[in-house]
Amino acid sequence: MKKIIALFSFVIIAACSFAQGFGGDPAAMKERTKERIKAPLIEQTKITDAQADKVIDIYFDAQLESMKLRRDDSMDGDAKKAKMKEINDARDKKVKEIPLTDDQANAVKAFYDEQRKKMQERGGQKGGGRD
């Protein structure tokens, strides 16, 4: 029984590590992201299928840059904040250049803010049962 629990724990840890991007293929991760959020993105923001593809590409690439930045130990907190602002500003500029109207761009930003909030809420619940 202990062996089964140990094996199950190992599989769960490995799956979680892969899901968090440790060694995952970025192109495959991008495709899974498109499959997961494209329909709700289109529905909530009223953008076209082609616009949604571009938006997802832009946000995904910015997210990869942000993840690399967070793991970079050569920069202090203030430098990272400044670089993060640059990444976000460049992302927002690219989104508007798709082209999207101001209303559409704001709806996209609100959609991703909502997604981020949901992810943070789920993350906070994972350890909720521990003491």
- Domain positions in the chain are 25-124
| 17 contact partners, CB below 8 Å, separation of at least 6 | 23
3-state secondary structure (DSSP) of residue 47: coil
Q: What is the pLDDT of residue 53?
A: 96
Q: What is the pLDDT of residue 123?
A: 80
Q: Does the pLDDT at position 7 exceed 50?
A: no
Say if CB 52 and CB 41 are below 8 A apart.
Answer: yes
Cα-to-chain-centroid distance, residue 108? 14
What are the pLDDT digits (tens) for 19-64?
Answer: 554 557 889 999 999 999 999 999 999 999 999 999 999 999 999 9
0.85 surpassed by pTM: no
| 65 contact partners, CB below 8 Å, separation of at least 6 | 87
Q: Does the pLDDT at position 11 exceed 70?
A: no
Q: What is the pLDDT of residue 13?
A: 54
